[in-house]
Structure 1
Amino acid sequence: MLSYTTYLNHSTLPWVTFIDGAGGIFSIWKKQLPEFQRHYNVLVVELKEEYSPFHTVEDLNIDRISNGILHVLETENIVKSHFIGLSLGTVFIRNFALRYPGYVESMVLAGAIIKINYRLRFLFWVQKLGEKILSFSSQFNFFLYSLLPNRNHKESRSFLMERARKWDNEEFLKWCRFTKKLNPILNYLYSEKSDIPCLYIMGEEDKLFLSSVRKISSSKSGSLLFIIQDCGHIVNLEQEELFNKMVIGYIVGIEGVSEVVRPDLEDFSNCSPEEVLIANSNNHSKK
């Protein structure tokens, strides 16, 4: 079974499920959990197995992980949830939503990966060349600075460097090999029609993934794109207040809950999906 943690608020409140990126880094949501626990029941699913870890890239089967998520929901009697994912977590959410749409109220895909583009393929090519001569830490730092190159990305880099100390070379290579083979899966996931509402949240400085998300979000009905300025790939750490406000506001709009019914959400009632579109439009006009 996938590792997971639940935070119960009240049985009548909606569920929000967080799914992280590579390696099952639970604490990537440290700046979201306090706020979301105030308003929702929260489930955090980690991309690692509790008793039988993903030892090889073959173990990282996308359908196996979707089945693992389903098993967690069934174990906790969660019949429907809003899903929030980061980076590779967005791939697993998208697959789960296609396989089990009845469980998904909405999707929030932050730092979404929807295409392994030529830049990323080049990085994997360089990494492959240096695989036998460079240490794990050197390879990891190469990817990290390629993904988060700017000075204002320092907090995200430091956070990931600290967490990666628990990894070994095989763990890193396993996720690299899994990611670079994703394009056929991504092509399928984003060619299939889905009626589930979807909000993409991307950093303006996410040079590896933003351009692909722009294209796909404009062509999909029911999809919105919010771009956070002065922000890189790890949007939930670099701009946590804005991220939390926009995500909760989006969920409020999906739920159609008024501040009369939920006074705790009064501060978020002006962040409906329509307002997210306006914020996105304003960001575009400043470029």
Structure 2
Amino acid sequence: MSSIAPLSSNSMLFHKTIIHPSSKEWVVFVHGAGGSSSIWFKQIKEYKKHFNLVFIDLRGHGRSAAVTFKELLKSGYTFNDVALDIVQVLDHLKIKGAHFVGISLGTILIQKLAELAPNRVKTMVLGGAVTRFDFRSNTLVKLGDFFKHVMPYMWLYRLFAYILMPQKGQVESRSMFIKDARKLCQKEFKRWFKLAADVNPLMKFYKENEINKPTLYLMGKNDYMFMRPVKEMVARHKSSQLTEISDCGHVCNVEKPKEFNQHSIEFIKNNG
């Protein structure tokens, strides 16, 4: 059972929409931890030609960071809680079903949403997908957990950003994530950091119990930390496929937007 109820109607997540003049199809964009809906600015021009769009800022992120909740000051929250926040936005907009596009940790939220409310998810595009923390990423998380109470969270976030996105071609995406992370408060960072402990058991469950939805994994070939676990996931699942983007790292929608848009839009149209 979820530890916290979905947000009340007067504290709904910040979201914005772009309406297509004729399309009935909706695409919902879900950013990763420390980011915001601004991460999708390179998708807007192409996607709005084909679909209605929804951009969401998750709890404590972007313009949702301005909202305070008494219950959240007392405890943390789970992937269930954050996924239910997204369902609440869908209900508010009267969207019965949509295609979902996520990046990094946002890909886990999309899969959790598909588990909790399968009728709301038509397809899943999972960019820079996190399907398991390997030894290196687990070590990084443990180091962060050890230092999170004594080190300013922005120092930790910069360290994570450089480890996840170390190459010269990743300067823009790294800078965007660091800029957005400054909007998080220390307590909010710790709440999201605690979710990292739930990643491996949750994704092990999804690996063994396939979510029967058309799923496209879009991964940069240089995403050295998460590529191998994604390949293992796709090998087990009949409804999933993997497209690798050359000369590209973790945040592939920013680093290679042309390729990301082309592959993802084509996938959604073919499976809509």
Quick one: percent identity of the two aligned structures?
31
TM-score calculated relative to the size of structure 1: 0.82
Q: Is residue 241 of structure 1 aligned with residue 258 of structure 2?
A: yes
Q: How many Å separate the matches in 2 of 1:118 and 1:25?
A: 28
- Greater C-alpha radius of gyration: 1
Letter in 1 for 2:13: L
Moved more, 15-24 or 238-247: 15-24
Mapping of 1:12-27 within 5 angstroms?
A: 12-23=23-34, 25-27=36-38
Letter in 2 for 1:5: K
Contact 2:102 2:110 in 1 (8 A): yes
Mapping of 1:244-259 within 5 angstroms?
A: 244-255=261-272
Tell me by how many angstroms 1:56 deviates: 6.0
2:98 — aligned with what? 81
Mapping of 1:3-82 within 5 angstroms?
A: 3-10=14-21, 12-23=23-34, 25-48=36-59, 50=64, 51-52=67-68, 55=72, 58-82=75-99
1:135 — aligned with what? 152
Q: How many Å separate the matches in 2 of 1:57 and 1:106?
A: 35
Q: How many Å separate the matches in 1 of 2:245 and 2:234?
A: 15
Q: Structure 2 vs 1, CA of residues 216 and 57 (structure 1 numbering), >3 Å: closer, same or farther?
A: farther
Specify which structure has the bigger relative contact order, considering alpha-carbon pairs within 8 angstroms and separated by 6 or more residues.
2
TM-score calculated relative to the size of structure 2: 0.86
Moved more, 86-95 or 38-47: 38-47
Q: State the SS of the aligned residue for 1:232.
A: coil
Contact 1:197 1:223 in 2 (8 A): yes
Q: Pick from 202, 222, 236 the counterpart of residue 239 of structure 2.
A: 222
Q: State the SS of the aligned residue for 1:181.
A: helix
Moved more, 151-160 or 84-93: 151-160
Contact 1:112 1:200 in 2 (8 A): yes
CA deviations on 1:121-155 (whole Å, 9 max, x unpaired) are 11122223433553333222211111011111111
Moved more, 179-188 or 84-93: 179-188
Q: State the SS of the aligned residue for 1:190.
A: helix
Q: State the SS of the aligned residue for 1:5.
A: strand
Moved more, 100-109 or 123-132: 123-132
Q: Pick from 119, 128, 142 the counterpart of residue 125 of structure 1.
A: 142
Q: Pick from 131, 141, 160 the counterpart of residue 114 of structure 1.
A: 131
Tell me by how many angstroms 1:81 deviates: 0.8
Q: Over aligned residue pairs, what C-alpha RMSD do you find?
A: 2.0
Tell me by how many angstroms 1:57 deviates: 9.6
Moved more, 16-25 or 105-114: 16-25
Could you tell me which runs of 5 or more consecutive residues in structure 1 were left unpaired when the two chains were aligned. Answer: 256-287
Contact 1:57 1:174 in 2 (8 A): no
Letter in 1 for 2:191: K
Could you tell me which runs of 5 or more consecutive residues in structure 2 were left unpaired when the two chains were aligned. Answer: 1-11
Q: How many Å separate the matches in 2 of 1:78 and 1:60?
A: 25
Contact 2:214 2:240 in 1 (8 A): yes
